Amino acid sequence: MIDFALGIVVGVVILVIGALPLHIAIKILGGRTTIFKTVVVSVITGILLSFIGMMIEGFGGALVSSLAHSGVLGSGLERQLSLYTSSGYMIFGMPFLVFVGKALGFLVKLVIYAKSFRLSVVKALVLLGIHFLISFVITLVAAMLGIAVGG
């Protein structure tokens, strides 16, 4: 029972630590929010983006591939569409459908942040940039400390 409770406490602490860069970025932009609201928005956004990515990358690729290989779309499109689902057709180093999933996820995240924290779309875009920079700096410092302490 104590292990279960400790697991819940550790899980909550990890969620709060994960939402801190976003919370700091909101405060830098002058936004008013609580850490609880930031954690909830962060968790819901993460779940939604995972679902969108799974749907587009998994089912989208399977659908296009099966339609192309079954001959429904015609033999001329078969090779073209199979490139979209494999690593043959790359955009920024990602297969096409993975890129579409990431782009849609970015737009969804932008809208969620704009609506949740009552920001304009431009401020939400700046928020994403600041959030990325803060996360990068924290990760870099943690890695440097790990190297310094761990040898």
Helical packing angle, 121-150 and 2-28, nearest 10°: 130
pLDDT at 133 > cutoff 90: yes
Side-chain-side CA neighbours of residue 140 (13 Å): 6
Average pLDDT for residues 31-36, to the nearest whole number? 87
Selected residue with higher pLDDT from 124 and 1: 124
Give the chain's domain count: 1
pTM: 0.71
Contacts of 19 (CB under 8 A, 6+ apart): 35, 38, 39, 42
Q: Name residue 21's amino acid.
A: P
- Per-residue pLDDT, averaged over 44-56, amounts to 85
What is the extent of the structural domain holding 38? 2-150
